[in-house]
């Protein structure tokens, strides 16, 4: 009884007070005493689990791993639930330390143990978790067979309907993110549709109170409400990549409203991660649609969320500086854009993000016009014709576009056309609407310069239609200017006047937004390139977001 009392006291102190020393004292006693008493598994392993969490919070990871969790795993093999739970916990600890190889090994051990004790459900959870880490590591050769096996296990497992559907959601989320990482926006659609149907099915099912007969099955991947937000999130990611920006906005608003409700009742760190990723995507949408001031306030909101969690900041610092770099381009602060992208490159080890940053930094050098040496060096590192550093279809298409843009500025028009036709071929194959619009308008500009007005018109008109559908303000501005000049050159006075009026309207909107953004206190964030986000640059009453206007 003494061990149980210490466990209860330690648990209450750990969960409901800030008194870590006393909590640790009670939990250490519970762990020591319970090891000397046979059949005291629940007390023993719960004490080990809580104590390990506490050590990690106090940055004593070396104590948590070998001395505690490894020993607890070793002696828990006859207790399937605790053995699996402790394996998951140690794998999570390795993941937080960025030791994904050890984490994957442990999850493999867990999957085999679950198979031996007859739990196909928990075996699937271990394998899907391993698949998630392999995707993070970009070990795509290992991911494919693993996901195929997971798909078979999930379909064949006959158990609690909510557990089965949650496994299916986990499996489909991995498939969808795998496609999106590869920039395959069109190919992902069937999977995404299945995922959306799956989450609808889950929301109609009631949680059964009947406990599984196999104790190793007593796990949940995520609560239903968290899964719902996650499905909104991957839908936003898809809409953003495909260039359906109004759709991305709609799903972001829905997800953020749900997150606000959940965060009132639940302080789970995953909710803040979801919120930051959603904001990162919607900020990019705002910059494209000509809402720079709102984007800047949302960047400030991401800064505030990251200030509350050092782990969140270390995971998202590179993305934050990348967003600031994109904002700087939109307000024509090219020196600051370069500084932000250079900082982001220093902070990231993620290959796709690295390629995205380099592509945007190359666009900054092209606009500056006098950075040829740096530009050639960058373009060599993202050469889409050979040895492209990442497997993303979308990023490779963007690299062709950047080369086309550079060739255009250098007056090498035939070379520019070759690169842009390659971009068009790739972007059409995967419905990358924004790249298609950008390539069409640039090709239209090239044909205009070469005096081929008919061909130019054939490019600019569909570019304008597509840009209006996205809607992409800068491409609309560019297209309307070209249509004005084209119609003037062809003697179509009325059409030229109409295009000039459109161009004037877009210019006014962008200028007004530009002035509003640059006058915000958050605009000073463009000078921040080191350390945690500066508090003093943020508005005192907090940023207004799309969510605030809905509440």
**Is residue 79 classed as helix, strand or coil in its secondary structure?**
coil
End-to-end CA distance of the chain: 51
Digit-coded pLDDT (tens) for 467-492? 999 999 999 999 999 999 999 998 99
Q: Is 4 or 158 the better-scoring residue by pLDDT?
A: 158
Digit-coded pLDDT (tens) for 110-168? 999 999 999 999 999 999 999 999 998 888 888 889 999 999 999 999 888 888 999 99
Q: Produce one character per residue of 486-515: b if its CB has 16 or more CB atoms within 10 Å, e if not.
A: bbeeeeeeeebeebbebbeebeeebeebbe
Whose structure tokens read 């390629």? 355
Digit-coded pLDDT (tens) for 420-439? 999 999 999 999 999 999 99
Q: Identify which of 503, 438, 173 has the alpha carbon closest to the alpha carbon of residue 165.
A: 173
Q: In this model, does residue 548 exceed pLDDT 60?
A: no
Q: For the ranges 3-17, 164-178, 327-341, 532-546, which has the lowest average pLDDT?
A: 532-546
Query: 411, 423 in Cβ contact below 8 A?
Result: no
pTM of the predicted model over 0.85:
yes
Q: Produce one character per residue of 261-278: b if its CB has 16 or more CB atoms within 10 Å, e if not.
A: ebeeeeeeeebbbbbbbb
The CA distance from 213 to 238, in Å, is 39
In this structure, the number of other CB atoms found within 10 A of the CB of residue 301 comes to 22
Query: 206, 164 in Cβ contact below 8 A?
Result: no
The CA distance from 36 to 13, in Å, is 24
What Rg do the C-alpha atoms of the chain give, in angstroms?
27
Whose structure tokens read 């949408």? 285
Whose structure tokens read 């605030």? 548
Digit-coded pLDDT (tens) for 171-198? 999 999 999 988 889 999 999 999 999 9
Digit-coded pLDDT (tens) for 312-362? 999 999 999 999 999 999 999 999 999 999 999 999 988 999 999 999 999
Mean per-residue pLDDT over the chain, rounded: 88
- Average pLDDT, integer, range 516-532: 95
Distances from the Cα of 476 to the Cα of 231, 321, 420, 483, angstroms: 31, 27, 19, 10
The dihedral of CA 392, 389, 101, 28: what is its sign?
A: negative
CA 48, distance to chain mean position in Å, is 33
Q: In this model, does residue 550 exceed pLDDT 70?
A: no
The CA distance from 138 to 142, in Å, is 9
Please state the length of the chain. 551
Digit-coded pLDDT (tens) for 397-414? 999 999 999 999 999 999
Q: Token digits for 322? A: 């990348």
Residue 524: CA atoms inside 13 Å, Cβ hemisphere, count? 8
DSSP 8-class letter at 67? I
**Is residue 533 classed as helix, strand or coil in its secondary structure?**
coil
The CA distance from 425 to 436, in Å, is 9
Q: In this model, does residue 63 exceed pLDDT 70?
A: no
Non-local CB neighbours of 323 within 8 Å, separated by 6+ positions: 280, 283, 284, 295, 299, 302
pLDDT, position 544: 38
Digit-coded pLDDT (tens) for 244-300? 999 999 999 999 999 999 988 887 889 999 999 999 999 999 999 999 999 999 999
Non-local CB neighbours of 183 within 8 Å, separated by 6+ positions: 241, 392, 393, 394, 395, 396, 397, 430, 432
């Amino acid at each position: 009884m003494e061990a149980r009392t210490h466990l209860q006291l330690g648990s209450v102190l750990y969960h409901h007070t800030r008194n870590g020393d006393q909590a640790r004292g009670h939990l250490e006693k519970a762990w020591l005493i319970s090891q000397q008493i046979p059949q005291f598994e629940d007390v023993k392993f719960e004490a080990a689990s809580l104590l390990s969490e506490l050590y990690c919070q106090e940055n004593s990871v070396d104590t948590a791993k070998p001395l505690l969790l490894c020993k607890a795993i070793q002696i828990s093999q006859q207790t399937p639930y605790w053995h699996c739970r402790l394996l998951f916990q140690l794998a999570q600890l390795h993941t937080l330390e960025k030791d994904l190889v050890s984490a994957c090994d442990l999850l493999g051990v867990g999957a085999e143990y679950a198979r031996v004790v007859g739990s196909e459900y928990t075996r699937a959870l271990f394998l899907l978790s391993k698949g998630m880490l392999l995707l993070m590591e970009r070990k795509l050769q290992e991911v494919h067979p693993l996901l195929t096996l997971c798909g078979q296990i999930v379909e064949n497992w006959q158990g609690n309907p909510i557990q089965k559907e949650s496994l299916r959601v986990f499996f489909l989320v991995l498939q969808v993110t795998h496609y999106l990482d590869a920039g395959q926006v069109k190919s992902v659609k069937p999977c995404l549709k299945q995922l959306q149907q799956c989450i609808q099915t889950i929301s109609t099912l009631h949680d059964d109170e009947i406990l599984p007969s196999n104790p190793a099955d007593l796990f949940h991947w995520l609560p239903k409400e968290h899964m719902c937000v996650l499905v909104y999130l991957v839908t936003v990611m898809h809409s953003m990549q495909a260039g359906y920006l109004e759709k991305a906005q709609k799903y972001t608003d829905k997800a953020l409203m749900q997150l606000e409700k959940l965060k009132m009742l639940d302080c789970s760190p995953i909710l803040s991660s979801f919120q930051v990723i959603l904001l990162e995507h919607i900020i990019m949408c705002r910059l494209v649609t000509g809402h720079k001031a709102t984007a800047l306030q949302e960047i400030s909101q991401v800064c505030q969320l990251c200030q509350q969690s050092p782990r969140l900041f270390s995971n998202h610092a590179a993305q934050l500086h990348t967003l600031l770099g994109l904002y700087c381009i939109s307000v024509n602060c090219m020196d600051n854009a370069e500084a932000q992208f250079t900082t982001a490159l220093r902070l990231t080890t993620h290959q796709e993000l690295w390629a995205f940053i380099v592509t945007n930094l190359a666009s900054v050098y092209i606009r500056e016009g006098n950075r040829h040496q740096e530009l050639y060096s960058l373009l060599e590192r993202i050469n889409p014709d050979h040895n492209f550093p990442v497997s993303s279809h979308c990023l490779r298409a963007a690299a062709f576009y950047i080369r086309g843009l550079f060739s255009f500025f250098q007056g090498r028009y035939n070379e520019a056309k070759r690169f842009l036709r390659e971009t068009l071929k790739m972007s059409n194959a995967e419905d990358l609407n924004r790249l298609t619009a950008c390539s069409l308008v640039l090709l239209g500009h090239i044909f205009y310069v070469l005096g081929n007005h008919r061909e130019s018109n054939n490019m600019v008109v569909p570019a304008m239609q597509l840009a209006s559908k996205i809607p992409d303000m800068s491409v609309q501005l560019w297209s309307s200017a070209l249509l004005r000049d084209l119609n003037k050159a062809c003697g179509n006075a009325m059409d030229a006047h109409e295009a000039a009026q459109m161009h004037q309207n877009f210019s006014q909107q962008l200028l007004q937004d530009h002035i509003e953004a640059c006058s915000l206190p958050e605009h000073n964030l463009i000078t921040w390139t080191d350390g945690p986000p500066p508090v003093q640059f943020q508005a005192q009453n907090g940023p207004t977001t799309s969510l605030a206007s809905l509440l």
